Structure 1
Amino acid sequence: MHYRQTILWQKAMGTALAVYRLTPLLPPVERYGMRSQLTRAAISVPANIAEGWTRESSADKAHFLAIAQGSLAELETLLTLCEQLDWFAADRTANLRSLIDETSRMLTTMRRRRRSER
């Protein structure tokens, strides 16, 4: 199976797309600071899933899944900060938060499976 066919990668891509659609709401002064941080963290998730998927060893696959999970936690932290600064209203981030949660749960499941295969 190609990584693009996995629900995990598709959810991660949906998360990245949602971030790119949300970032124009940032204050103009943060368009290059926070926007860059949010988008880098968001795109890191599907990119690392894809890279890990193509690796041959289980250890390499697990490593890239761990990086993806870390990037997702970073994204969630940045999103929380933006909400606390009143840059994003909670009703505007609800869908993104749902995607982050689903992707995180799927990554956790996949990482546990990898550990049990060793």
Structure 2
Amino acid sequence: MQTPAPPYYAVIFTSQRTAVDDGYGDTAERMVALAAQQPGYLGVQSARGADGLGITVSYWRSLEDIAAWRKHAEHTDARNDGRARWYSHYETRITKVERAYAWDAASGQAPAEASRPD
């Protein structure tokens, strides 16, 4: 996934799953698809370990876009289901990305548009 040049915002959602599935996978897929349709959405990355600990980072153009997504009715319903069934704990952090850079093994070089000195 490639994000635009900074600045932009990242919403970091760290969660601990319960053993209950009960539609979690379908809802998670629906939330990713729905978020992608929202104004200001830039992308998402997600990983979950065998122990149930997961981290999802979504990227957004503005704080207003993030606030609108949080208020979306289906997202609100999914959040409520998460609290009731799917998560034993979660934490959300919002941060402004001011610098970003990458390295690619195939080329051995950082992409020119993302290269910044440390």
More strand per residue: 2
- Point out which structure has higher relative CO (alpha carbons under 8 A, 6+ apart): 2
Larger radius of gyration: 2
TM-score for both structures, normalised by structure 2: 0.37
